[in-house]
Every structure is written in structure tokens, then in C-alpha cells.
Structure 1
Amino acid sequence: MDPYALLGVARDADEKTIRSAYRTLAKRHHPDLNPGKPEAEAKFKDISLAYALLSDPEKRARFDRGEIDATGAETGPRGPAGGGYYRQHAGGPFDAGHGRYQAADGADGFGGFDHDDLESLLRRAFGQGMGGQGAGPGGGFPLRGADAQYSLAVDFLTAAKGATRRLTLPDGQVLDVTIPAGIKDGQALRLAGRGGPGMNGGPRGDALVEVAVAPHPLFRREGDDIVIELPVTLKEAVLGAKVKVPTVHGGVMLTVPPRSNSGTRLRLKGRGIRQGHQVVELKVVLPTGEEPELAAFLAGWTPRDDTDPRKDLVGG
């Protein structure tokens, strides 16, 4: 299937748009957030494969030119059926995205350089043996593997408290990723040596894992503080009360001072992320049913403070 259609983006979409579309879909279909739903897992694998292709500028360009399909497989005569040198080294350090290095029949692909000339040119460009080491077998030299880019969706509490999560790659392999406490949405983790293989004894590249944090129905983050809106009754707001409040670390008791108003912010020290706090924003909720006694009291009540609460509104 077309990777652009899978991610719901136009063919001329920029990198930011593609990443944003993937993160939105990853949060919606990630297996950890959809337990017992195999269709979500299958969808997640499809969009991950699409993102892996479109987030790589070289692979995206080759797909747009029709040189590879949506799975990354070659589409031309030098593809899986044709074999040959190019298929073995597609996407490698000598593949400039034009499908050319050396053809299978030995003809050169660099406008007049034969293989020996190219080796000599590369040696002069990079230095003999890379850092004084001798060249490897066949005249090659060590090259570091390419970095691989992935995205991992986690829930809000996992991001706040930290955990280990398993990332399933498009090819079925898995990576165990340690999520540090307090990681932010969009932050990337680097896993050393878990990227593409090196050449001629060179080290593997790294895996760069971008973490997408799903929103929480109760909590929101402000820096390292956690903010929650807490409904309180009219009686609790007027007279004060002790009420139980959920936090990312478990429920705690909170003292609501007398004469609290909607919008009043109270702080639970050390109940946020790392050294942050939890901020509790009160919301006064009136009774949903009829309260004739309360209505009768208010009808005969004259407040001592008769300040107009709307006096500062403009255009009223």
C-alpha cells in the first residue's frame, strides 16, 4: 500500500508533517495502548514501515522515482529476481540515491572511473586505512553503519515514572528500550550500536527512538509539574474539607481551605516529575438536583462583600 496514504499525508509533505502524522497514528494504534486488538498491532506495523521509508530522505526519493516499492524492495531488473551488485549494496555508503555504483556486468557507473580508479580516489579522500590502519580485505576500509530512526508510543504514566518497553521493528525484531522518568513527548533516545551494520569491520550505527507520549484524561504536564483539575462541592469550597486526590504516584489527602474558589491552585510538594510538584486546580461544582433549602437561603442572603465580580470585564 502507498506509504503516503497509510500516514494520510500528501506526496509533497515535509519531514515535520510526516513525523507528526506518524506520531498521531502511533499513539492511536500502538499495541501497548490496544491490548487484545490484533488489528491495531497490524496497523501499527504498517504505519511504522511507512514511516521508516518516508523518514529516510534517500529511501523516500528512491520510492518516488519508482526504484523501490513500499517495503523497500527493488522494483527494477536488478531487484530480487535480478540480483547483482547494486541489490547487495543498496542504501549503503556508496549509493547516492541514483541506483549506481558498479553494474553487475562490470561496467562502471561513475562516468569514466573504473573500479581501481575509484578505490584510489576513495583512499585519497578518506586517508589510507582510515586513521593509519591498514586497508581491509579487498582494499576496503572501515565505515560506520547508518543510524536507524524509530518511534515508540508510551502512556503518560510510563513517561512520568519511567519503565522498560519493547519496541517491535518493521522486520519483526525487538528492542528493549529503557524509558527514563520524566521523558517528554517528542524526545529521542539513542541506543548505541543498535543501528545499521558497518562495512569492512566498521562499528554499527545507533538506533534513535523518538518517544510519543499519549495524553492522560486527568493529568497534564507543565515542565516537571503535574496539573490536575479537581472538582469540589459548594459546601467543600465554602467550609473547607479534606479530599482524596489522585497523583502519578498514588492517591493522597489534600486540605481544601475554607472560601476556596474555582481556579484556586493548591500544591502537593514533590508529587510531580523528578523534583516537580503536583498542582491541584479547584473547580467548584454546583449540585445537579434541586436544593430548595439552599435556594431559599440564597434568596434571603445579602453578602457582606457586594463587589461586582464582572466589574473588570470590557465591553459588558
Structure 2
Amino acid sequence: MSKDYYAVLGVGRDASEADIKKAYRKMAAKYHPDKPTGDEAKFKELSEAYETLSDPEKRGLYDQFGSDYGQRHTSGFGGFGDQGPDFGDIFGSMFGGGGAQGFEGFGGAGGHGGFGGQRQARPQKGEDQNIAVMVSLQEAISGVEKTINVQIGDSRSASHSYDTKPIKVRIPAGVTQGQKIRVKGKGFSGFNGGPNGDVIIDINLQKDPRFKVDGKDIYVDVPITPWEAALGAKIEIPTLKGTIKMAIAPGTQSGTKLRIKDRGLGREPGNQYVVIQIHTPPAETDEQKALYEQMALQMPFNPRAE
């Protein structure tokens, strides 16, 4: 009697590969024989269902013939005439390259000759790992070496209990928020001799008390005095690559935005923008108040007139 593998895993027939894998991991973790809730028969049934539905070729045959698709697919082989079918290829595609295992005794030495021999399962690459790494703006602009912990082992393990090991990775200069860096061969173990997966590093930029980030551009607020704004001045400006001198033109207004080219982030750097903020000193003494009163008399000005 055909088994309903979709019901076994608790998914619909239109479930994606990711849905099937997620359902299997959840239920296998519950029914694994090593767990208090373990059920060896149930775990075996889950594994059988997952083995079929996780393989697109097997799943296609199952959807067409049911869980006994192996027997149905091979019945009536006499119809092929004198030249029999290559069951090694048929069952290799069905069972991941496993050959005619389970059909010994139909001819040839060792019982495999008539079916092309027993084959090894196909090598498969291990799963990738995504790891978020925090990077300061100074590290982003100049590059940095980081030590991160990666999980090791087989990602198909039902227990989800992995060991970790530290690896060193190089964060190149110019990285931006959300950029991904691939470290090959440092992910989960491959299957049947296949290569390991990769580690995908997701860059997260730390907030900085002075600088703000907008894509590849950097913004910094720079305070100046009223006389520097009125008369012009040459002042020091902080950047991610050190301090530089910048000329402030006479009559500069608060909110003026000045550009420093190629001082932003990215392999092709963005810009740094200096936003001028005029700060007025407080009048705390009689002499200071008198100075402001004199300025009001000598330089009558109403910024709200227009």
C-alpha cells in the first residue's frame, strides 16, 4: 500500500524544498531515538519520506507512482526486447546514484552484472552558513581581520547540536552595510565526499557617535562660531581617514553642506558631506550682553523679514 509521505512530514503536496527540509528537521528532532520523545519506527518513516521528497527526481516518480514507484517503474521490463534496460542508470537517478542495490541475483558475478553494478551515492556540497559580523566605520574604511566562530559537522543532523571552531577572515577595505563576503569551504560538511559549504558573512556597520552613513556617503555635523561663519575661516574637519583642513567661505549659513570627494565607503568610494552648524555663545556677563547689544545696533538684521 502506498504511503503518503507528505502526510508523514505534515506538509502539502505543493511544499517547497525548504518547507520539506524544515518540517523534517523539526519532526526528526522530536522523534530521534536518542531523545526522550524518540520513536525509532516513526523516525525511520520520517527519514524514508524525507529521502524521497528532498530529491526532485524521486519526488517526481513518487508523485506519479506513489511510494512503490521503484517496483512500478521496473515492472514489465520484458517489453524492452532482447536489449534489456540499464537499471544501473535508472536506479542511479532514482536513488542518488545508488545503482541497482536491492536487486541482486538477476545475473552476473555477485548478482550485479545484469544491472550495471552497484554505484555510490552522488557527492553533494554541504550547506552554507550565514554569519553577521559587526564592523566599525574605521574598520570598514581601512579593512580588518576578524575571528568568527563557525559551526562544523553535518547540517542534516537531527539533533541540531553542532561544535564550533574559530576561523580568521579578512574584511576588505570599503565594505558597506549589508554587503556579503563569501569564504569558500568553511561551511557545513559535504555529503558522500562532496565539498564543504561556504560561510557567507553579512556586514553590519556599527553606529558611530560622529558620522552618519547613507549608502556609500558619510555625513558629519561640524559646529562653527558666528564670526567664523561671517568672516570665513579655515577649520579642522574629521574624516574616517584622519583630520583635514577645510576653508569656510565668508557668509556661510547654518545647514550649508560641503563635499569632500572620495572620503566615503565602497570600493569606488562615495563622498563625505560636512554639514555646517552655527553655534552661538551664551551671553553670561554684563560685558558679553553689552557686546551683543552693540552688534544689534551696528548690524541691524532680521532673518525673518522674508
Aligned to 2:280: 286
Pairing 1:206-221 to 2, within 5 Å after superposition = 206-221=198-213
Q: How much does 1:248 deviate?
A: 0.3
Q: Is the 8 A contact 2:31 2:39 kept in 1?
A: no
Counterparts in 2 of 1:243 and 1:302: CA distance versus 1, 3 Å: closer
Aligned to 1:277: 271
Q: Could you say what the CA RMSD is over the residues aligned between the two structures, in angstroms?
A: 4.0
Q: Does 1:204 align with 2:196?
A: yes
Stretches of structure 1 that go unaligned for 5 or more consecutive residues are 1-55, 69-73, 102-109, 130-134, 312-316
Q: Does 1:159 align with 2:140?
A: yes
* Deviations, residues 109-147 of structure 1 (Å, cap 9, x unaligned): x833679x8997662359869xxxxx9986312222222
* Deviations, residues 57-98 of structure 1 (Å, cap 9, x unaligned): 6675457x5x36xxxxx33242368798969x98xx83858x
Q: Which has the larger radius of gyration?
A: 2
Provide the secondary structure at the position in 2 that maps to 1:169.
Answer: strand
Provide the secondary structure at the position in 2 that maps to 1:195.
Answer: coil
CA distance in 2, matches of 1:138, 1:127: 9
Q: Is the 8 A contact 1:241 1:257 kept in 2?
A: yes
Q: Is the 8 A contact 2:31 2:40 kept in 1?
A: no
TM-score (norm 2): 0.60
Counterparts in 2 of 1:287 and 1:224: CA distance versus 1, 3 Å: same
Aligned to 2:295: 298
Q: How many aligned residue pairs are there?
A: 229
Q: How much does 1:222 deviate?
A: 3.2
Aligned counterpart for 2:243 among listed residues 242, 251, 260:
251
CA distance in 2, matches of 1:216, 1:271: 16
Aligned to 2:165: 173
Q: Does 1:111 align with 2:67?
A: yes
Q: Does 1:76 align with 2:73?
A: no
Q: Is the 8 A contact 2:96 2:122 kept in 1?
A: no
Pairing 1:45-60 to 2, within 5 Å after superposition = none
Q: How much does 1:249 deviate?
A: 0.5
Q: Does 1:145 align with 2:101?
A: no
Aligned counterpart for 2:221 among listed residues 202, 220, 229:
229
CA distance in 1, matches of 2:144, 2:254: 36
* Deviations, residues 130-179 of structure 1 (Å, cap 9, x unaligned): xxxxx998631222222222211222221232211111236331232221
TM-score (norm 1): 0.59
Counterparts in 2 of 1:173 and 1:254: CA distance versus 1, 3 Å: same
Stretches of structure 2 that go unaligned for 5 or more consecutive residues are 1-17, 59-65, 75-86, 99-115, 152-162
Provide the secondary structure at the position in 1 that maps to 2:67.
Answer: coil
